[in-house]
């Protein structure tokens, strides 16, 4: 499918649903009307129509017009080397744009920090995210436009994983078609985020049990989801439990713990023995930090359901390290189904997937 003329099934899905965010600021299409009109000609797309959400993403990210404020530039480099400047400078730019009352430039700087914060979830990230969240549906359309951009659209493709993570932060029942499209993506990273969002959409409170999963940064809440929808989500989530990607399996474990469906405990107990592990440098040469992403997520989910679970891993060396990894599968560099030139520092959980 040509993502320049239509940014994929995700864009089409979002067009079918109303905004779930009331009380928003001036709409982004109105705020960036002039820049959007200029985006197509600037990209020189040889007469092809630029999808409206991709165009909005181009200008809202600042990629089409490279804003600056009081000597602080949002971007450095050109062409394929175009990139946001350092997060400290961008935060300074945001403050100066807000002080100057420059709403357009302030959004671009805030959006850059929301999708590329540098150090993950920090106070600066939350401040930037809260700033762009005031634009409600406009922000959702920008994120979907980022996901729908193809390689002919400069810069945006590199933000796609961050956009997927932010869409999980913004999970709302009104955007279920978007999450379903993400859950069917050929890209394993985007697919895992779609599964995670379906889990949040399926969230059910359980009397006497914890309201959330230890390690989940998003506060789950019950949504207006029908029994038929829940059954569809459950089937998708169950199938994801045996996906080839450990990220998708881990997302399935999270979703099962949030939904709390009848078959969840048995499935999660099997997932708590998942073989995939990550290996990072320890504090000494002999030690390694071992993380089992699927196991740790499944353990958190089982605990939420009131079942005993032990999260394995930790900083290990010698025999303990050999015992912990024997029979396991090192997936530290496993990027199957992903684009190696893309990454995200946005975090909605602490389980390393």
Tell me the C-alpha distance between 75 and 104, whole Å. 15
Tell me the C-alpha distance between 148 and 3, whole Å. 6
Band of pLDDT at residue 154, cut at 50, 70 and 90: confident
Model pLDDT, residue 41: 67
Model pLDDT, residue 47: 47
Tell me the C-alpha distance between 137 and 135, whole Å. 6
On whether the CB atoms of residues 6 and 51 are closer than 8 A, the answer is yes
Q: How many angstroms separate the most distant Cα atoms in the chain?
A: 64
Burial of residue 78 (CB within 10 Å: 0-12, 13-18, 19+) is exposed
pLDDT (tens digit, 9 = 90+) per residue, 102-140?
999 999 999 999 999 987 678 899 999 999 999 999 999
Closest CA to 76 of 116, 37, 127: 116
Pair of tokens at residue 222: 């019950």
Model pLDDT, residue 18: 44
pLDDT at 4 over 50: no
Tell me the C-alpha distance between 188 and 221, whole Å. 26
Closest CA to 268 of 300, 236, 291: 300
For tokens 């050999």, the residue is 322
Model pLDDT, residue 24: 47
Band of pLDDT at residue 100, cut at 50, 70 and 90: very high
pLDDT at 43 over 90: no
Indicate the average pLDDT of the chain: 90
Band of pLDDT at residue 44, cut at 50, 70 and 90: low
Q: At what angle do helices 264-271 and 293-304 cross, to 10 degrees?
A: 150
Pair of tokens at residue 46: 């040889």
On whether the CB atoms of residues 258 and 202 are closer than 8 A, the answer is yes
For tokens 């995939």, the residue is 276
Pair of tokens at residue 289: 């930090």
- What average pLDDT does the segment 191-215 reach? 96
Chain-centre distance of CA 47, in angstroms?
32
- What average pLDDT does the segment 208-219 reach? 95
pLDDT at 38 over 70: yes
Tell me the C-alpha distance between 53 and 142, whole Å. 6
Model pLDDT, residue 22: 42
Band of pLDDT at residue 261, cut at 50, 70 and 90: confident
Tell me the C-alpha distance between 45 and 198, whole Å. 35
Instruction: Specify which residues 216 forms β-bridges with.
Output: 349
What are the residue ranges spanned by the domains of the chain? 8-159, 180-330
**Which residues are CB-contacts of 21 (< 8 A; sequence separation ≥ 6)?**
133, 136, 137, 140, 172
pLDDT (tens digit, 9 = 90+) per residue, 10-34?
545 544 444 444 444 679 999 999 9
Model pLDDT, residue 9: 56
pLDDT at 6 over 90: no
Band of pLDDT at residue 42, cut at 50, 70 and 90: low
Model pLDDT, residue 26: 79
Indicate the pTM of the whole model.
Answer: 0.90
CATH topology of domain 180-330: 1.25.10
């Amino acid at each position: 499918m040509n993502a320049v003329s239509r940014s994929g099934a995700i864009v089409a899905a979002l067009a079918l649903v109303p905004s779930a965010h009331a009380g928003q600021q001036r709409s982004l299409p109105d705020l960036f009307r002039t820049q959007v009109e200029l985006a197509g000609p600037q990209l020189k797309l040889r007469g092809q129509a630029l999808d409206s959400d991709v165009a909005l993403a181009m200008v809202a990210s600042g990629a089409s017009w490279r804003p600056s404020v009081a000597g602080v530039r949002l971007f450095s480099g050109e062409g394929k080397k175009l990139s946001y400047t350092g997060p400290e400078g961008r935060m300074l730019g945001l403050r100066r744009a807000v002080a100057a009352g420059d709403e357009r430039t302030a959004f671009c700087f805030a959006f850059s920090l929301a999708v590329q914060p540098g150090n993950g979830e920090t106070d600066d990230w939350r401040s930037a995210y809260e700033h762009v969240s005031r634009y409600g549906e406009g922000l959702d359309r920008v994120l979907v436009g980022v996901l729908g951009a193809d390689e002919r659209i400069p810069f945006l493709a590199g933000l796609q994983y961050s956009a997927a993570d932010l869409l999980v932060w913004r999970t709302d029942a009104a955007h279920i078609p978007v999450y379903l499209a993400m859950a069917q993506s050929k890209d394993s990273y985007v697919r895992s985020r779609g599964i995670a969002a379906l889990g949040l959409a399926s969230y059910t409170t359980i009397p006497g049990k914890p309201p959330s999963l230890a390690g989940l940064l998003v506060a789950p809440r019950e949504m207006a989801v029908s029994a038929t929808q829940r059954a569809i989500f459950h089937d998708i989530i169950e199938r994801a439990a045996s996906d080839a990607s450990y990220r998708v399996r881990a997302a399935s474990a999270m979703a099962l713990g949030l939904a709390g469906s009848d078959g969840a405990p048995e499935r999660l107990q099997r997932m708590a023995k998942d073989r995939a592990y990550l290996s990072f440098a320890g504090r000494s040469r002999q030690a390694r930090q071992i993380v089992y992403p699927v196991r740790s997520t499944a353990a958190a989910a089982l605990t939420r359901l009131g079942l005993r679970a032990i999260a394995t891993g930790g900083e290990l060396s010698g025999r303990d390290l050999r015992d912990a990894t024997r029979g396991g599968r090192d997936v530290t560099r496993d990027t199957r189904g992903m684009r190696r030139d893309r990454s995200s520092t946005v975090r909605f959980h602490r389980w390393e997937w």
